[in-house]
Amino acid sequence: MNRLAALACGPLLAATALVCPAQEGAPPAVTAAIDALLPNTPPAWVKPAPMSGLWEVAVGSHVFYVSADGRYLLRGDILDTTTRENLTRPARNRARHDAVESLGEANMIVFEPRDPRYTVTVFTDVECGYCQKLHNEMQSYLDAGIRVRYLAFPRAGIGSPTYQTMVSVWCAVDPRDAMTRAKTGREVEAKSCPNPVAEQYQAGQMLGVRGTPTIVLESGEVVPGYLPADRLREAAEVARNEVKG
């Protein structure tokens, strides 16, 4: 593991492909430092930071800063002391949103309301109690206009019994029905096929998912844990307004 990857992104950074960076005129010293410390792992973007003399670098959902001479790397948030605004938060949310979208909706299990107003993406585990509670209340989310997209995050890891169950869910003829069966303790027919479960689990680790459910709003903001439909709708509305703003 190279030093910058260890500092910024955790052990599974290199396992997830990222889009090529937008360099936006970064000095050669900055790009050379990033290339040396992150070989074969291009950041999502490299651009001028809100504070002069620094360059903002995004990898996965992680945002950090490199000095213009390429010598120093800074982790943490930049705060505007006049407005009290966290200037790093929007960049981190955008990076997280882009990383989630890069996984592809076609690889997610989606529950769609008749009149969708919001979309949330949920890292889920079929054995997790609060994941089961959320799923058992699915109709209330749909009634609130919330579109729920599931990504796999088997907490016990790749190769575990839960992982195998989630592979069977994703490989089922009707994945939505299989998800419901798995989360209500009913048997799911064992299946195997090319599937995204391992990739989604690794992406979740890279994005800092530590427990389930972890809900990602349209803005990229994270809700760690279960929320009932009314509170999730409120959070989704705030996120929607941030995206529009």
- Contact (Cβ atoms closer than 8 angstroms) between residue 217 and residue 123: no
* Tokens at 75, concatenated: 């982790």
**Is the pLDDT at 23 greater than 80, yes or no?**
no
Each residue's pLDDT tens digit, 163-216: 999 999 999 999 999 999 999 999 999 999 999 999 999 999 989 999 999 999
Does residue 10 surpass a pLDDT of 60? no
DSSP class of 2: -
Q: pLDDT tens digits, residue range 25-60?
A: 889 999 999 988 888 878 889 999 999 999 999 987
pLDDT at site 243: 80
pLDDT attached to residue 12: 35
Which pTM was predicted? 0.84
Which residues participate in catalysis according to the annotation? 125, 128, 131, 155
What percent of the chain lies above the pLDDT cut of 70? Answer: 90
Report residue 245's pLDDT band, with 50, 70 and 90 as the boundaries.
low
Answer whether 16's CB lies under 8 Å from 40's CB: no
Structure-block tokens of residue 61: 């959902």
Beta strands in the chain (DSSP E): 45-48, 54-59, 62-67, 73-75, 109-111, 118-124, 146-152, 214-216, 222-224
pLDDT digits (tens, 9 = 90+) for 140-177: 999 999 999 999 999 999 999 999 999 999 999 999 99
